[in-house]
Structure 1
Amino acid sequence: MRLTISAIALTAAVSATGAMAQDASQWTGFYAGFATNIISPEFDNSTAPTPLQEGTSFGAYGGYNYAVGDNFVVGAEVGYSGPVAFQTTNTTPDFEFDNVLNARVRGGYALGNALVYGSLGYQMVNYSAATGVSSEGSADGLVYGIGLEMLLNEQVSVRMDYTSTHMNPDAGTIDGGSSGEQIDANAVGLGVALHF
């Protein structure tokens, strides 16, 4: 339901956007913004309860874009989001990401005021102790995704993206973990940014 609301919000923003320059140069420069992320994690190779209910986090991101030719855009970005709790199958206890930090490179194709992009990078999370699920620890690994960003004017953009992360947790911190254990997390993010 929340994903549907996010999609409708982005569609409304896109429909309200006027025509802009038809090249990538309008994307060049620094930007910073705020985002909300709907995250769905699960454990691989572990007997710990799998959180089935998604959680919502809020955070900030910023980076730099550079135009390559008329239509291509490359850039780098860092993002941070705060605590997010996930209800487990038996309603208690919760499993919680205390914070999420990532760094990604982005590459995309500009179509008018739209930028369709892919991203690849590194993500790290710290998580809290939860009886029957985990002890306190951290996990890190590869994050990749796709997204769509729209310029509403020369300084403001909105975006929606999807990312998938496969992280290796600290040894012995996930209950019932075995060799090759992972924390996998898929997320849908909706953000708004100011361009400088």
Structure 2
Amino acid sequence: MLKTTTALIAATAFFAAPALAGNISEPAPEPVIATPVAPPAPATPNWTGFYAGGQLGYGWVDTDTPGVDGDDIIGGLILGYDYDLGNNWVIGAGIDYDFADINLSGAGSLEEVFRAKLRGGYKIGNGLLYGTGGYAWADTDVLGDDSGYFIGGGYEHMVTQNISLGGELLYHQFDNFGSTGADVDATTLQARAAFRF
């Protein structure tokens, strides 16, 4: 009797083992959910290099002598070098030479302006918003010439890898111009185009 019971339990366990073991087929793998990859940040142009070009705009000249002022077209050549610091900041140096014929109410006329400038700016996409300042020299046909300073700002945009377009607003100050005792200030607003090497 004991043998029969033991045999019956052993047979039951043998046949029940596959049922207790679960499904004999391999389970389907769970789908892998890929983590989305962020798109790369848009690349901004590299501003490092020399540039040369031209500018054209308008100039306003004012003096502390009553009635002596004037305004007219001004324009000339630009040359410079920028260095891209690689962290959205750009620094640079350049020179401008402008031709003019701004009549100062019959007391002569402003004939030319030269500037030696430093600039620093922040990249905004393909553009550069910057501040600038430096040395200015101006010459007239009657009052002689004099040195002063200028400050201002501008925006320049890379149209292609080698062409940039922009605009610049500058304020100039000349104290005791040509030893005449007159203080002269001038404002220029010009559009600029440059070829970048």
Q: Mark yes or no: TM-score above 0.5.
A: yes
Q: How many residues are aligned here?
A: 155
Render the CA deviation track for 1:2-47: whole Å, top value 9, x for unaligned.
xxxxxxxxxxxxxxxxxxx633x52110000111131101002x34
Work out whether residues 163 and 187 of structure 1, in 8 Å CA contact, stay in contact via their aligned partners in 2: yes
The unaligned stretches of length 5 or more in structure 1 are: 1-20, 130-135
In structure 2, the partner of 1:50 is 68
Work out whether residues 168 and 189 of structure 2, in 8 Å CA contact, stay in contact via their aligned partners in 1: yes
Q: Structure 2 length normalisation: TM-score?
A: 0.74
Asked whether 1:167 is paired with 2:174, we answer yes
The unaligned stretches of length 5 or more in structure 2 are: 1-41
The structure with the larger Rg is 2
Work out whether residues 68 and 104 of structure 2, in 8 Å CA contact, stay in contact via their aligned partners in 1: no
Q: CA deviation at 1:120?
A: 1.1
Which residue of the other structure, out of 49, 54, 72, is the alignment partner of 1:29?
Answer: 49
Which residue of the other structure, out of 98, 102, 127, is the alignment partner of 1:81?
Answer: 98
Work out whether residues 61 and 104 of structure 2, in 8 Å CA contact, stay in contact via their aligned partners in 1: no
Identity %: 27
Q: CA deviation at 1:94?
A: 6.0
Work out whether residues 104 and 119 of structure 1, in 8 Å CA contact, stay in contact via their aligned partners in 2: yes
Q: Structure 1 length normalisation: TM-score?
A: 0.74
Secondary structure of 2:69 counterpart: coil
Work out the CA distance in 2 between the residues paired with 1:112 and 1:69.
13
In structure 1, the partner of 2:129 is 116
Secondary structure of 2:68 counterpart: coil
Which amino acid in the other structure matches residue 194 of structure 2?
Answer: A
- Relative CO higher for 1 or 2, CA cutoff 8 Å, sep ≥ 6? 1
Work out the CA distance in 1 between the residues paired with 2:122 and 2:43.
11
Work out the CA distance in 2 between the residues paired with 1:83 and 1:161.
17
Work out whether residues 22 and 111 of structure 1, in 8 Å CA contact, stay in contact via their aligned partners in 2: no
Q: CA deviation at 1:83?
A: 2.8
In structure 2, the partner of 1:146 is 153
Work out the CA distance in 2 between the residues paired with 1:74 and 1:114.
14
Work out whether residues 30 and 63 of structure 1, in 8 Å CA contact, stay in contact via their aligned partners in 2: yes
In structure 1, the partner of 2:26 is none
In structure 2, the partner of 1:64 is 81
Work out whether residues 75 and 190 of structure 2, in 8 Å CA contact, stay in contact via their aligned partners in 1: no
Secondary structure of 2:179 counterpart: coil
Q: CA deviation at 1:72?
A: 0.2
Render the CA deviation track for 1:97-120: whole Å, top value 9, x for unaligned.
121100100000011110000001
Task: Give the aligned CA root-mean-square deviation in angstroms.
Answer: 1.6
| Stretches of 4+ aligned residues off by more than 6 angstroms | none
Work out the CA distance in 1 between the residues paired with 2:170 and 2:43.
27
Render the CA deviation track for 1:127-168: whole Å, top value 9, x for unaligned.
012xxxxxx311211101010000100000111010001112
Which amino acid in the other structure matches residue 186 of structure 1?
Answer: T
